[in-house]
Chain A
Amino acid sequence: MIVMWKKMKKTTRSNIITFGMVILAYAVIQAMVMTGNISSLFKGLLVPVCTYVILAISLNLVVGILGELSLGHAGFMCVGAFASAFFSKTMQGVIAPDGLRFFLALLIGAAAAGIFGILIGIPVLRLKGDYLAIVTLAFGEIIKNVINVLFIGKDANGFHFSTKDVISLNMEPDGVVLVNGPQGITGTPKDATFTIGVILILITLIIVINLVNSRSGRAIMAIRDNRIAAESIGINITKYKLMAFAISAAMAGCAGVLYAHNLSSLTATPKNFGYNMSIMILVFVVLGGIGNIRGSIIAAVILTLLPELLRGLSDYRMLIYAIVLIVMMLFNWAPKAIEWREKYLGKLKHRKKAAKEA
């Protein structure tokens, strides 16, 4: 067993640790839920944590692997959330097993966000760095605002659309309002569970990790490291940039589906789909280490749970949160901290070796 472990490539080993970590965390929490050793507050956080972890992984694909800065991931999440919630609400009672309906909702949410990713990506990926960040930020805000003025209803004659109000939908008396502008979608079936969330995390992990270690992933990272050289060896820049961007958007859409199916009413507010959220996801990625998938998972979990765990401290809550952010940043990025960490970890390894030999 140990021999096999040593024989493996470094990346394979690191990936196994990442998967192991997620599965172990799942097992522990699931055991706590079974035995009832968990507060209702914490229980309510389980699905949102999964949502944020998926978002962090998805943004890391753009920021860490593709090397472009996107601040529009809340927008893609929003597209996924509303597309899937709309589908689930109209199909409630039409598609028989709830599991199948939720599975289809996932596909629709991911596809819708992915298509938006491609549409936005075609013009926007010509930009670089700050410019790309600003345009994607604007996109997120546009999506949120468009959804806030969207009214959709359904009656015997079919679907009705409006951007004004419910009355201008001109529906028959038996009509049902599906999307109600700023009030969003109410009555989405609550299909999302912690188990589904973890399965989705594992799937996104497999996709990202396998993509990175394949021909396409190599092309994406080559573009990140040196665009001109990548072009000179015949790598299609637009194609691979767009591919990474669209896959990432689709994953953010998946997170949106999970988010939407955990709430009974879904609205697009600045709090959940605004630029604050996009920046929050970026914070997960930067804190966890750009390009470091495992790190961004850990950062997403800690930073989502922390404000809730510190609730008892009321006024000091945000202060401590800010301090934790700074400390994590220093620990991850400061050259001195990295040096110290390597020395310390090196010593540990050394000691283990010595213990074995003795």
Chain B
Amino acid sequence: MALLEVKNLSISFGGLRAVNEFHIEIQKGELYGLIGPNGAGKTTAFNLLTGVYKPDEGIIKLDGVDITGKKTIDINKAGIARTFQNIRLFKELSVLDNVKAGLHNHYKYSTIEGILRLPKFRRVEREMDERAMEILQVFDLDKEAQTTAANLPYGKQRKLEIARAIATKPKLLLLDEPAAGMNPNETGELMETIRFVRDKFDMTILLIEHDMKLVSGICEELTVLNFGQVLAQGKTSDVLNNPEVISAYLGDE
């Protein structure tokens, strides 16, 4: 059974059919790419998967469980975490606290225990610190743990966002243009990190990307969206050689 199974997913804004009969099937452990020209509905598809928008039609199943139309926080609890096209960090919080915020639903104590500084508070906070540092180490951010997130350089902010998403222990990780604004060196490094994350955390990853080097380099399967419709789907090399895809990207001659 596929980890993510989406059928017939559609949403309209006014008269515009932003996503039309979107379907996708992602197997566990896969690195899956979602590509398409600007305005094709990629981010809208992400927003539908994470409950930011409620679909007009269609079914989303995660690990066999129907999560269609659920709220964002419940979808996160069910096992989908994401990053954003325009970075959304908790800017005023430290790098460590950003990741600890991601651990929110996995390490618990009550507010009263926190205010009174009871032993449970100390124990759980220590566990959180350890776990957060473990995650930060993977992204080579452990030395900046006490830095305010807003002061990190751009590339590291992107990494921190991924780290925070991973802290929520998702089954499926959605990355929205992780390489946007990165130079080729940083992109190369990011590709390594994404692969490493998949192996180390045993994660399934769906990513939106424009950088074809990254897409062809790490994605095993691809779906191409154009005008809200699925244009092509399948093995990366097949899809990228599909004449329809080439014409959608480069235009007809």
**B168 near A: Cβ within 8 Å?**
yes
Contact across chains for A214 and B111 when beta carbons are under 8 A apart: yes
Query: In the complex the two chains form, what is the Cα distance from A216 to B111 in whole Å?
Result: 6
**A235 near B: Cβ within 8 Å?**
yes
**B152 near A: Cβ within 8 Å?**
no
Contact across chains for A233 and B167 when beta carbons are under 8 A apart: yes
Which of chain A's residues 231-251 have a Cβ closer than 8 Å to chain B? 231-237, 243
* Known interface pairs A210-B117, A218-B97, A218-B100; A232-B90 also in contact (CB < 8 Å): no
Q: Which of B11-19, B102-110, B208-216, B226-234 contacts A (4 or more CB under 8 A)?
A: B102-110
Contact across chains for B115 and A214 when beta carbons are under 8 A apart: yes
Name which residue of chain B comes closest to A219, CB basis. B104
Contact across chains for A232 and B117 when beta carbons are under 8 A apart: no
| Residue with the highest number of chain A CB atoms closer than 10 Å, among B89, B104, B116 | B104
Query: In the complex the two chains form, what is the Cα distance from A45 to B2 in whole Å?
Result: 70
**A253 near B: Cβ within 8 Å?**
no
Name which residue of chain B comes closest to A211, CB basis. B115
List chain A residues, Cβ under 8 A from B165. Answer: 232-233
Which of chain A's residues 169-222 have a Cβ closer than 8 Å to chain B? 206-207, 210-211, 214-219, 221-222
**A146 near B: Cβ within 8 Å?**
no
In-complex Cβ contact of A215 among B73, B90, B109, B167 (8 A)? B109
In-complex Cβ contact of B88 among A207, A226, A236 (8 A)? A226
Name which residue of chain B comes closest to A291, CB basis. B92
List chain A residues, Cβ under 8 A from B128. Answer: 215
List chain B residues, Cβ under 8 A from A229. Answer: 84, 88-90, 164
**A166 near B: Cβ within 8 Å?**
no
List chain A residues, Cβ under 8 A from B167. Answer: 233
Contact across chains for B50 and A232 when beta carbons are under 8 A apart: yes
Contact across chains for B81 and A233 when beta carbons are under 8 A apart: yes
Contact across chains for A221 and B93 when beta carbons are under 8 A apart: yes
Contact across chains for A215 and B108 when beta carbons are under 8 A apart: yes
Contact across chains for B102 and A225 when beta carbons are under 8 A apart: no
Contact across chains for B114 and A232 when beta carbons are under 8 A apart: no
B233 CB to nearest chain A CB (Å): 26
List chain B residues, Cβ under 8 A from A345. Answer: none
Contact across chains for B115 and A210 when beta carbons are under 8 A apart: yes
List chain A residues, Cβ under 8 A from B125. Answer: 214-215
List chain B residues, Cβ under 8 A from A243. Answer: 111
In-complex Cβ contact of A233 among B92, B115, B116, B168 (8 A)? B168
List chain A residues, Cβ under 8 A from B81. Answer: 232-233
**A228 near B: Cβ within 8 Å?**
yes
* Known interface pairs A229-B84, A230-B101; A221-B168 also in contact (CB < 8 Å): no
Name which residue of chain A comes closest to B116, CB basis. A210
A316 CB to nearest chain B CB (Å): 40
Contact across chains for A225 and B92 when beta carbons are under 8 A apart: yes
List chain B residues, Cβ under 8 A from A207. Answer: 115
List chain A residues, Cβ under 8 A from B88. Answer: 226, 228-229, 232
Name which residue of chain B comes closest to A67, CB basis. B92
Contact across chains for A225 and B91 when beta carbons are under 8 A apart: yes
List chain A residues, Cβ under 8 A from B82. Answer: 232
Contact across chains for A218 and B115 when beta carbons are under 8 A apart: no
List chain B residues, Cβ under 8 A from A237. Answer: 73
Query: In the complex the two chains form, what is the Cα distance from A100 to B115 in whole Å?
Result: 24
List chain A residues, Cβ under 8 A from B92. Answer: 221, 224-225
A208 CB to nearest chain B CB (Å): 9
Supplied contacts A215-B104, A229-B90, 12 more A-B pairs, CB within 8 Å: A206-B115, A214-B114, A218-B100, A221-B97, A222-B93, A224-B92, A228-B52, A229-B84, A231-B76, A233-B104, A234-B168, A236-B73
16 sampled A-B residue pairs with Cβ under 8 A: A214-B111, A214-B115, A215-B124, A218-B93, A218-B104, A222-B101, A225-B89, A226-B88, A226-B90, A228-B52, A228-B84, A232-B84, A233-B164, A234-B168, A235-B101, A235-B104
Mark A residues whose CB is within 8 Å of B: 206-207, 210-211, 214-219, 221-222, 224-226, 228-237, 243
